[in-house]
Amino acid sequence: MSKAANEPFNWRRAEIFEQLYFVGNQSVVIILICVCFAAVVTILESSFHMKLVVQNDSLVPGFAAMLILREIGSVITALLLVSRVGAGIAAEVGLMEITEQNDALRMLGINPIHYLVWPRLVACVLGGVVLTILADLVCLEAALLISESHLGFTAALFLSSLRRFVGFSDLLFSAVKGAVFGMVIPLVSCAFGFRCRAGAVGVGSATTNSVVTASILIIILDFIMSALFLGF
């Protein structure tokens, strides 16, 4: 039993799928609603200020698409996952720590890192990539619809401007960001969960600190990766 429990690549597949369902299926609606409104606000604000400054908003679809693929889709998705999934993981692991369930696992020869962290890490990385790509595509569709209905762009004009500013590499970079951000969430949440102090206050503190820390790390990593991606 202990050997199987300590083989993360060959064990806990059921738990990985369960966590993937928690990360993906139960988060997708919230994420898509939020990123759609963010995309609409972005393109409307961009159009307003371009008309105000240069009296021409013909480049708005391209700029908006670039911002969606490089920032909005991945960052907003990650921050929403932190607030929902990260908080849940920290609370769950923290509760297991203070009720000595993790000690019981160790007594059975089961490594809590493999047992708890590995399934959540895999699920968050895969879920982060899929949700980020889905958010990007839905954001672009929302931007297209608002451009047609409020800004007077045709679909052909929007797509033509989009192709001039973005390419497949932008979608790929967004997916890479989604994977990195997805990796941060369970690692930070589990780290605070394992260090949780006894009592309801301890669980609440671990949850809050994990969300704040993961959010800060995501913003910092976004800056670093965006700076690196500018060279491509």
The per-residue pLDDT of the chain, averaged, comes to 85
Q: For residue 7, name the pLDDT band (cuts at 50, 70, 90).
A: low
- Cα separation of 75 and 215, whole Å? 10
- pLDDT at residue 82 is higher than 50: yes
Instruction: Give per-residue pLDDT as tens, 9-68.
Output: 555 677 888 888 888 887 889 999 998 898 888 888 878 877 777 777 777 787 888 888
Q: For residue 1, name the pLDDT band (cuts at 50, 70, 90).
A: very low
* Beta-carbon count within 10 A of 83 CB: 14
Radius of gyration, alpha carbons of the chain: 21
- pLDDT at residue 213 is higher than 90: yes
Q: For residue 124, name the pLDDT band (cuts at 50, 70, 90).
A: very high
154 backbone dihedrals φ, ψ, rounded to 5°: -85, 165
CA quadruple 160, 166, 167, 172: dihedral positive or negative?
Answer: negative
Contact assessment for residue 178 and residue 211, using Cβ atoms and an 8 Å cutoff: no
- Cα separation of 87 and 186, whole Å? 9
Instruction: Give per-residue pLDDT as tens, 101-120.
Output: 888 888 888 888 888 888 89
The residue with greater pLDDT, 230 or 69, is 69
Tell me the C-alpha to C-alpha distance, in Å, between residue 220 and each of 101, 177, 214, 216, 225: 34, 12, 10, 6, 9
Tell me the C-alpha to C-alpha distance, in Å, between residue 173 and each of 34, 118, 140: 21, 24, 16
| 9-16 CB contacts, 8 Å cutoff, 24+ apart | 11/114, 12/114, 12/115, 12/118, 12/119, 15/119, 16/118, 16/119, 16/122, 16/123
Contact assessment for residue 65 and residue 213, using Cβ atoms and an 8 Å cutoff: no
Q: What is the mean pLDDT of residues 93-99?
A: 87
pTM of the full structure:
0.86
